[in-house]
Chain A
Amino acid sequence: MTESSPLRRWVQGLLNPEARRHLAAEPDADDTGFAEGAAAVLDKPLDRRQALRALAGAAGAGAALVNAACSPLSGRNEEAQLRWEEFFKKNYRLMTDSERSATVDRLERLAAGEQKEKVHIQTSKPAAGVLFGYAFNISKCKGYQDCVTACIEENNLDRKSNMQYIRIFEIENGQSSLASANGSYYHKVPADGQYYLGTQCFHCENPPCVSVCPVGATWKEEDGIVVVDYDWCIGCRYCQAACPYFGRRFNWSAPEIPAEEINREQHYLGNRPRKKGVMEKCTFCIQRTRQGKQPACVEACPTGARIFGNLLDPNSEIRYVLANKKVFRLKEELGTEPKFWYFSD
C-alpha cells in the first residue's frame, strides 16, 4: 500500500477540510511533525456540523457504514476522528516506524478515553540472534493451572467468554493420545495415576495458519513468534481451521475485561485489548519476552515445569533440555516444526 493510494485519495475527498489537511500530512515525512500535526487537530474540537459531515462521508463510503454499526461512535468528536484514521491504516508489517508510532499514539489516546487511564503500547522489534523456544516437563506439571490464570491476566483475555490460550490435559498413565485425555477437569490435583500435559500455540517454524491467511494478517516474526495484526484480520477463521493444535481463538463477541484488571503494559502484536470479530492467540508474551522477561505462564508455574528461552543461545536452559532430555513434539508428522517440546525427567 502506498501513501497516495487511490482509495486514500478518494476517502480524503469525502472528508471535511480539516480532517483532509490532517490526513494529507505525509506521515513518512517526519515522525514528530505528524504527531504534532495530529495533536494540533485533535486539541481543537470539531464542531458538530463538521463531525456530522465527516460521518455522512463515512456513510457514503458504505464499508464505513458497517463499521459504524459494528462499533458505535460515542458523542466525542475526537474519538470519531481517531477511529476513522485507525480504520484506514495499513497492515502493521508494511508500516514505517513513523506510521507505527502514529497508530500507537492514536490507540493510546483511544484507550485513555475509554479506560480513563494511560496504557503503554510497545512496538519493540525482534532482537538479532534470538529465536524463542519452549519446553514443557510432563513429569513436573501437576495440573494446578496457575499458568492459565496468569496468562488470562497478563494477556487481557476476554473474561466474558472465559477465553484461555493454555489448556492443561489430564492423561491416564500409559496413555498418550490427547483424544482420550480430559481437557476440562474440576477436581483436586494431582490425581492418582494421571499425568498432565499443557498445550498452547506452538509457534511452528512452518506454521500452516500463516500460509492460509488471505490478507496476511498473521505472520512469523524474526524471533519465531507467530503474531496476529488484530486491526488487519477480517475474521474469516481460515487460520483456525488450519491449525493442528487448536492454538487460535476467535472473538465471537466484543471482549470484556474489568477496567481495574487491564494490564496496561502492552504490545501492538501482543496483549493490547482485541475487538469483536478478530483472531487472537498466544504470543509467548511478546510484551514481556522482548524486554528480556519470561512469559507469564513460566513465571507463574509453581513446579518449574515450564522452560522458555533463546534457542540460538548455546548456554540457555532450553538448549540444555534439548541436548540432555528425551524430548518429543505433538504431531511432528505434519511437518509444522513446533518450537514447543515436551520432556520428562
Chain B
Amino acid sequence: MRHHPLTHFFFDAFLSATRGRLGYHVWMGCLTFFMLLGAYAYQIQLQEGLVVTGMSDHVSWGMYISNFTFLVGMAAAAVMLVLPTYILDDIDFGKAVLIGEGVAVAALAMCLAFVTVDLGGPHRVWHMIPKIGFFNWPRSLLTWDVLVLNGYLALNLLIPFYLLYRRYTGRQPEKHKYVPFVILSVFWAVGIHLVTAFLYAGLPARPFWHNALLGPRFLASAFAAGPAFIILVLKIINHFTDYSIRTVIFHKLAMITTVAAQINLVMLGSEIFVEFYHPTEHTESAMYLFFGLDGHTALVPWIRTAIVLNIIATLTLSIHRLRHHPIVLPIMGATLFIAVWIEKGMGLVVPGFVPGPLGDIVDYHPSWIEIAVTSGIWAMGFFILSSLIKVAIDIESGRLSAAKRQSGGVTS
C-alpha cells in the first residue's frame, strides 16, 4: 500500500528515534525513570495542592518559575546559530544549526511544562483561549509571553521540519520558502526573552526586578549559557556519533559565548555598584541575595558559587589558547551554564520576594516534590532533545531518506 511521503517521514522518524545502540537505550531509559518520578511527584501535588512545595504567600514563585525563566533564555539562544547560518550564509554553522533549533524546541517544551506545573488550576488553562475564555491581551504581559513562546515553538518546529523533510525526499530546500520564517524567528528570539524579562521588570511592587537593565541582562546571560550548552551537545555528538562537527564551529560558538559572558559580567558589576554604593530600602533584596538579611542566608552560598563560577569561566574563555583547547572549552561551558542557571533562576526570582512588600523576610527552600517534578521536566527536555537530534542526524547523514526506504534500506 502506498502512503504519502509525509506519513513515511514521520514513521521513519519514529523508528529512528526509538532505535539505537545500547547506550542510547540506557540513556533514554534513565530519562524515562526521572520523568516517571516527576509524574509521581506531580500527581501528589495535584492531589494536595501547591502546599507540598516550599512556596508561600510571601515567596509565591520558586523553583518552577526560576527554571522557566532560565529556559526561555536557552530557547532564545538558538538565534545565535540561526542568524549566521541562514541569513549571513555562514556555511560553517550549517551542521550545528539544526541541533541549535532542537535545543530551542526542547527548552520551549520545558518552559511550557514548568509554567503548567506552577499553576494552581492547570485544568482551567482553557480560560486563556480567546473567544472561549478570556485572554487578557494586550494588558497582561503573561498573555504576551504565551503568544511569543508558542509562536517561537511553532517557528522552531516548522523550519527544521521543512529542511529535514526536503532532505529526506532528496530535494533542495527552496530559500524563498523558509528564509522569511528564519528572519522572523531571529526577531522573535529576542522578543521571547525581552517579554519574559518584562514580566518581572513591569512590576513596581518588586524593586529588585523593576529595573531597565533586566531585559538586556537576560539577553546577555542567555547568549552566554545557550551557546555554551550547544557546545556541550555538539561535543557529545562529535564523540558518540559519526556526525562530525568541525573545529571551526566550536571556535565560533566559543567566541559568542565569551563575548556574551563578558557583557553579562559588566552588567552584573553595574548592578552591584548601583545597589551597594548608596544602599536604600530597595537594596534589601540584593542584600538578602549576596549577604543575607537578619540571619536569613538561604541564597548566599548559591549566588556566591554562581559568581565565582561565572568569573572563572569568563576569564578562562577570554584567553585564546584556553578557549580553543578541546577539553577546557566544554568544562568552562558547563561551568558557565551552571553559573547562569543559578544566577538567573533562583538568584533572580526568589530575591524579588524577599523582603516582601511589607518587609517580611521569609526564606524559600524547595521541597522534594518540587525537585522531583523539576528533574522530571528536565529529563523530558533531554528526552525530546535526544530524539530530535537522533532523527536529524540520521536524515542529515543520509541514512534516513525516502529513496532508502524504496530500495529497502529501511525496514518497516
Chain A residues near B (Cβ < 8 Å): 1-2, 5-8, 63-67, 69-70, 87, 91, 94, 161, 167, 169, 177-181, 183, 199, 208, 211-217, 232-238, 240-246, 248-254, 276-279, 331, 334-335
Contact partners of B311 in chain A: CB under 8 A: none
Given B49, B146, B205, which contacts A252 in the complex, CB threshold below 8 Å?
Answer: B49
Contact partners of A161 in chain B: CB under 8 A: 51
A-binding segment of B17-25, B52-60, B251-259: B52-60
Contact partners of A5 in chain B: CB under 8 A: 131-132
> Please, what's the 1-or-0 string for B6-47, where 1 marks a CB less than 8 Å from any CB in chain A?
000000000000000000000000000000000000010011
Separation of A7 and B131 alpha carbons in the complex (Å): 10
Contact partners of B53 in chain A: CB under 8 A: 252
Contact call B284/A179, Cβ cutoff below 8 A: yes
Contact call B122/A66, Cβ cutoff below 8 A: yes
Q: Is B140 an interface residue (CB 8 A)?
A: yes
Contact call A241/B206, Cβ cutoff below 8 A: yes
Given A1, A63, A91, A232, which contacts B131 in the complex, CB threshold below 8 Å?
Answer: A1
Contact call B43/A215, Cβ cutoff below 8 A: no
Contact call B281/A177, Cβ cutoff below 8 A: yes
Given contacts A91-B134, A211-B139, whether A277 and B353 have CB atoms under 8 Å apart is no
Chain A min CB distance to B7 (Å): 25
Contact call A243/B205, Cβ cutoff below 8 A: yes
Contact partners of B127 in chain A: CB under 8 A: 91, 215, 217, 232, 234
Contact partners of B49 in chain A: CB under 8 A: 251-254, 276-277
Given contacts A180-B359, A278-B121, whether A6 and B134 have CB atoms under 8 Å apart is no
Contact partners of A212 in chain B: CB under 8 A: 139-142, 202-203
Contact call B205/A244, Cβ cutoff below 8 A: yes
Chain A min CB distance to B32 (Å): 21
Chain B min CB distance to A180 (Å): 7
Contact partners of A251 in chain B: CB under 8 A: 49, 120
Contact partners of A240 in chain B: CB under 8 A: 57, 60
Contact call A334/B205, Cβ cutoff below 8 A: yes
> Considering the complex of A and B, which 4 residue pairs feature the smallest CB-CB distances, nearest first?
A235-B120, A277-B120, A179-B359, A244-B205
Interface residues on B, range: 35 or more
Q: Is B351 an interface residue (CB 8 A)?
A: no
Chain A min CB distance to B396 (Å): 35
Contact partners of B119 in chain A: CB under 8 A: 234-236, 277
Given contacts A179-B355, A199-B358, A334-B205, whether A215 and B134 have CB atoms under 8 Å apart is yes
Chain B min CB distance to A219 (Å): 10
The 23 sampled A-B contact pairs (Cβ below 8 Å) are A2-B131, A7-B129, A7-B132, A67-B123, A69-B43, A69-B46, A70-B121, A70-B123, A87-B123, A94-B134, A179-B355, A181-B359, A215-B135, A216-B134, A217-B134, A234-B127, A244-B204, A246-B57, A250-B50, A253-B48, A253-B51, A254-B49, A335-B204
Given contacts A246-B358, A253-B48, whether A208 and B205 have CB atoms under 8 Å apart is yes
Given contacts A69-B46, A236-B118, whether A183 and B135 have CB atoms under 8 Å apart is no
Contact call A1/B133, Cβ cutoff below 8 A: yes
Separation of A331 and B49 alpha carbons in the complex (Å): 33
Given A233-B121, A234-B119, A277-B50, 19 further pairs, Cβ under 8 A:
A8-B132, A63-B126, A64-B123, A66-B123, A67-B123, A167-B358, A179-B359, A183-B360, A208-B205, A215-B133, A215-B136, A216-B136, A232-B134, A235-B119, A235-B120, A241-B205, A241-B206, A243-B357, A246-B360
Contact partners of A70 in chain B: CB under 8 A: 46-47, 121, 123
Given contacts A7-B132, A252-B50, whether A233 and B60 have CB atoms under 8 Å apart is no
Separation of A245 and B122 alpha carbons in the complex (Å): 27
Chain A min CB distance to B155 (Å): 22
Q: Is B61 an interface residue (CB 8 A)?
A: yes
Separation of A331 and B57 alpha carbons in the complex (Å): 20
Q: Is B4 an interface residue (CB 8 A)?
A: no
Residue of B nearest to A245 (CB): B357
Separation of A216 and B119 alpha carbons in the complex (Å): 15
Separation of A161 and B50 alpha carbons in the complex (Å): 13
Separation of A241 and B284 alpha carbons in the complex (Å): 17
